[in-house]
Structure 1
Amino acid sequence: MSVFPVKETIDRMLAIIEEQGWHLFARIDHAQLARKKGLELRPTELILFGNPEIGTRLMQDRQLAAIDLPMKVLVWEDEQGQVRITCNDMQWLKQRHGLTDAATLRAIDEVLAKVCAGAQTQEGS
């Protein structure tokens, strides 16, 4: 969970992604898109980010891993107003695609953990 609203949580994540030297491929505000169609949706944003130099190694290991790349993080507000952060687990991706490049999986997992953890709490807490 995050102590910040969805937009601020995503903004904090983007700062960490940039700090890590990774690239933002897309930021999708599903709630805003729903409103444009006259529909209601609690705050829900998805970011796609990665590092082609690192992600390519997974695709070289198993090309079908590309279906799950770049990395994705969903930040959404639940029914109680709590902001949640959801992403794919690297062990799940490893099993799903039969990936064998443990060093690359670990490198991606470390950045993913920094992005998610850094967006959840205020500095110093």
Structure 2
Amino acid sequence: MVDRITSAIEAGPFTLVTTVDHAASAADVGLELRPTTLLVFGNPAVGTLLMQSAQTTAIDLPQKLLVWEAADGTVNVSYNDPQYLAVRHGIEDRKEVLSKVSGALSSLVDAGRP
């Protein structure tokens, strides 16, 4: 799933900033962690608009998707809903941008499914 989402990020209007393999980092210090990978990516043309409305949004950008394996073996994808970010940072003037971000995140999650 991580590879499919990464490919979708790179094929879209996004820049993949980094990939953090938390399970590999845990193994490096002798600890075990089920597969847990954070993908950090963004689109400055969109993120900048949100930061112009509330500069504090920068703490939550670039956008992130967390791909993680649950104890039962299912693979999940988690992310902060753009509406949560709007409330957290008091963004009231970017409904269209927030809707676009929401759609993009949903599309990336769908791209990760087999």
TM-score by structure 2 length?
A: 0.95
Residue correspondence of structure 1 range 75-86 to structure 2 within 5 A: 75-86=67-78
- Identity in percent: 42
Which of the residues 106, 110, 113 maps onto 1:117? 110
Residue by residue, what CA displacement relative to the aligned partner does 1:36-72 show, whole Å, maximum 9, x if unpaired? Answer: 0001101100011110111000000000001110111
Mark the runs of 5 or more structure 1 residues left unpaired by the alignment.
1-8
Of structures 1 and 2, the one with the larger relative CO (CA 8 A, separation 6+) is 1
Say if 2:71 is the partner of 1:96: no
RMSD: 0.9
Preserved contact between residue 20 and residue 111 of structure 1 (Cα < 8 Å): no
Say if 2:14 is the partner of 1:14: no
Aligned to 1:44: 36
TM-score by structure 1 length?
A: 0.87
Q: How many residue pairs align between the two structures?
A: 113
Runs of 4+ in 1 over 2 A off after TM superposition: none
Please, which moves more after superposition, 9-18 or 60-69?
9-18
